[in-house]
Structure 1
Amino acid sequence: MIGLPAAGDGVVHAVFVALGIAAGIAVFAWEVRRRGLHDDRLWIIAGTCLAFGAIGSRVGTWWQQVDPSANDTLAQWWMDGNRSVLAGLVGAWIGVHVGKLITRYSPSTGDLFAPAVALAIGIGRIGCLLTELPGHPTGGDWGIILTPEHAAALGGPAGVGLHPTYLYEALFQIAAFAVLWRMRDRMRRPGELFVAYVAAYALFRFLVEFARANSTRNRNRA
């Protein structure tokens, strides 16, 4: 049994997201320096990547209903809407290209971002593990077991083992970071490291999606 110590605590989640971003920036800075890339435009690109990623994670899933009037306003969604990692990744990808367009920087940057993104998401998912509805019941006596108070707050069942899907993802991302870090100088073409990471993450998310559960009481981090 794995306990859930801080259900619904936005501060805990925000702390781990901040730690993940800080770790990602540190890895990005290390790679820029290690590769001898003395070009300040890379930091502008990193900035637009972060900005568009943050916006994407907040508003990327805003349009929920076909009827526009049935959707929350953007202001409401920004404050209390679903925050999606996948939408954030799309936003970050757009942000990189916006930054390149602004700075007229043409070389591939994917290999710089891939390890940083994996580590950032891996740390951030620990915050999700501690504060969000974990997943569907495991069918066994293992997993995360919610107390009645946690179950009421998150809209999940109490007293049964639930798949720790955020732990699965944290472990995947940390493992991906280790592999990407090891392989970062072995790819034949620029950008292949990022493509390999995205492909692996897409496959993982498809498989783990069957075990995930969305809270009916709190907006989950998809």
Structure 2
Amino acid sequence: MHPLIATIGGIPIGTHDVLVGLGVVLAAIVFVMQARYQQRSTGQPVDDRIWSVVAGTLVGGALLGRLGTWAQHLDPRDNATLLEQWLYGNRSILSGLVGAYAGALIAKRLTGYREPTGDLFAPAVAAGMALGRVGCLLTELPGTPTGSWWGITLNSQDAASVGAPAGVALHPSFAYEIAFHLLALLLLLRIRGRVAKGQLLTLYLAAYAAFRFGVEFVRGNEVVLAGLTRPQLFLLAFAPLAAWRIVRQARRGAYSGLFRRPSEMEAVS
């Protein structure tokens, strides 16, 4: 475990915060690269209003990422105050993604920007998530016990800090997630232009939801209902909406290009 990168002037520099910040920077770089790629492929300049959408995404993601874990108990009195939650509460990637999505929609409505933006955001989010999760791998509970040789074994001090058994191989659940996001990034770059405009983000989020639901069984989060964790219950609540959107878009032929060869796509275009 490496919770701190360094201490500068008596101020501790957290590993998790630094890597999450670097993940945001990487996501911004990939976003700009995607915007330039889209400009070259379409011959049209990127609308300046897109940066307002980016700002809405960041604000929405930051707000809900921090406050999204507030309502953990049915009785509001058992939950922290909103100020306590903001200052000391846990962050949630899932609620952060929902907040970012909502922030983008609100920004688009306010600015009148109507073009789909999912193709720009999907690779950027995948790249940022892959790097940000390295911070989680180095500072948080790796996962549940496993008999596999690739498990992570913690010493007594590190195990006590995250509430894990010492000397027992644990699933490196965050490493699994890093691998998922890297693979997703490669696939997104490969299939861009082969699905309807804006659909890369839909496919990425649906795939991540399915993956995250499965990996939760070895993540080590608290089981709260019917053998499921809070993230799994959260995902189940949103699953019908995601499924409806994908089926609706598939019926419109949004993903038909996935089943064509690149040469066939060039002939159609």
TM-score by length of 2: 0.75
What RMSD, in angstroms, separates the aligned Cα atoms of the two structures?
A: 1.6
Q: Is it true that 1:51 corresponds to 2:59 in the alignment? A: yes
Distance 1:129 1:90 in 2: 23
Are 2:19 and 2:132, in contact at CA under 8 Å, matched by a contact in 1? yes
Distance 2:207 2:148 in 1: 28
Are 2:3 and 2:16, in contact at CA under 8 Å, matched by a contact in 1? no
The amino acid across from 1:18 in the alignment is G
More moved, 33-42 vs 98-107: 33-42
Distance 1:38 1:70 in 2: 48
Distance change >3 Å, CA 208–CA 8, structure 1 → 2: farther
In the TM superposition, residue 7 of structure 1 has moved relative to its aligned partner by 4.3
Give 1 or 2: higher strand fraction. Answer: 2
Q: 2:30 aligns with which of 27, 32, 38?
A: 27
Match of 1:137 in 2: 145
Secondary structure at the residue paired with 2:14? helix
Runs of 4+ in 1 over 4 A off after TM superposition: 7-10
Distance 2:4 2:145 in 1: 19
**Identity value in percent:** 48
In the TM superposition, residue 38 of structure 1 has moved relative to its aligned partner by 2.7
Match of 1:14 in 2: 17
Q: Is it true that 1:206 corresponds to 2:195 in the alignment? A: no
Aligned residues: 211
Q: 1:169 aligns with which of 172, 177, 191?
A: 177
Match of 1:219 in 2: none
Are 1:141 and 1:160, in contact at CA under 8 Å, matched by a contact in 2? no
Q: Is it true that 1:63 corresponds to 2:63 in the alignment? A: no
In the TM superposition, residue 35 of structure 1 has moved relative to its aligned partner by 1.6
Distance change >3 Å, CA 170–CA 198, structure 1 → 2: same
Distance 1:190 1:110 in 2: 8
Secondary structure at the residue paired with 2:146? coil
In the TM superposition, residue 171 of structure 1 has moved relative to its aligned partner by 0.8
Match of 2:90 in 1: 82
More moved, 10-19 vs 55-64: 10-19
Are 1:136 and 1:163, in contact at CA under 8 Å, matched by a contact in 2? yes
Distance change >3 Å, CA 103–CA 95, structure 1 → 2: same
Distance change >3 Å, CA 8–CA 67, structure 1 → 2: farther
Match of 1:106 in 2: 114
In the TM superposition, residue 175 of structure 1 has moved relative to its aligned partner by 0.9
For each residue in 1:175-217, what CA deviation from the matched residue of structure 2 results, as whole angstroms up to 9, or x when unmatched?
Answer: 1011101111221x112211111111111111111001138xx
Secondary structure at the residue paired with 1:35? helix
Alignment of 1:145-184 (within 5 A): 145-184=153-192
Flag structure 1 segments of 5+ consecutive residues without an equivalent.
216-221
Are 2:56 and 2:104, in contact at CA under 8 Å, matched by a contact in 1? yes
Distance 2:130 2:3 in 1: 19
Are 1:129 and 1:164, in contact at CA under 8 Å, matched by a contact in 2? yes
Secondary structure at the residue paired with 2:77? helix
TM-score by length of 1: 0.90
The amino acid across from 2:199 in the alignment is E
Are 1:8 and 1:132, in contact at CA under 8 Å, matched by a contact in 2? no
Secondary structure at the residue paired with 1:95? helix
